């Protein structure tokens, strides 16, 4: 099955700086890569996603890049704000084989005011 690895496990940045979280996956057939943000005690919420036919996608301060050849994808948050502090999870899935989602172990991001 799919194996998703995520780094770093913790990340601290100064407010206004950028944050980058990286994930790798093992199954070249995976074709959909969502990112979730989970605040303490709350549900994971989708913040951005990318499909395998796209190399990059941006939504305001958040962007995701995908390198299918290297089987890795990254989340970029620019101009970080204290409310960006949360745990971020990457995931990979294959819509052709049932769309099961495999999650990374999470990155705890702290934005220091």
Partner 1 sequence: DTGVSQNPRHKITKRGQNVTFRCDPISEHNRLYWYRQTLGQGPEFLTYFQNEAQLEKSRLLSDRFSAERPKGSFSTLEIQRTEQGDSAMYLCASSSGQGNSPLHFGNGTRLTVT
**Residues interacting with partner 1, by CB under 8 A?**
4, 6, 31-32, 34, 36, 42-46, 49, 51, 89, 91, 93, 95, 98-106
Which CB atom, from 106 or from 109, has the smaller least distance to partner 1? 106
Which CB atom, from 42 or from 60, has the smaller least distance to partner 1? 42
The dihedral of CA 96, 98, 99, 101: what is its sign? negative
In angstroms, give the least distance from the CB of 49 to partner 1: 6
In angstroms, give the least distance from the CB of 89 to partner 1: 5
Q: Which residues face 108 on adjacent strands?
A: 10, 87
Which CB atom, from 81 or from 85, has the smaller least distance to partner 1? 85
Question: What is the 8-class DSSP label of residue 41?
Answer: T
In angstroms, give the least distance from the CB of 108 to partner 1: 8
In angstroms, give the least distance from the CB of 98 to partner 1: 6
The structure tokens listed for 49 are: 């996603």
Q: What is the β-pairing status of strands 32-38 and 10-14? A: unpaired
Q: Which residues face 67 on adjacent strands?
A: 72
Element (H, E) at 98: none
């Amino acid at each position: 099955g799919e194996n998703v690895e995520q780094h770093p496990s913790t990340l601290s940045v100064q407010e206004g700086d950028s944050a980058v979280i990286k994930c790798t996956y093992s199954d070249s057939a995976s074709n959909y890569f969502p990112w979730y943000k989970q605040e303490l005690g709350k549900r994971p919420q989708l913040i951005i996603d990318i499909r395998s036919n796209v190399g990059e996608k941006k939504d305001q301060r958040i962007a995701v890049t995908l390198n299918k050849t290297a089987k890795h994808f990254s989340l970029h948050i620019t101009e970080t704000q204290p409310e960006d502090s949360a745990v971020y999870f990457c995931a990979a899935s294959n819509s052709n084989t049932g769309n099961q989602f495999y999650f990374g172990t999470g990155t705890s991001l702290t934005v220091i005011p």
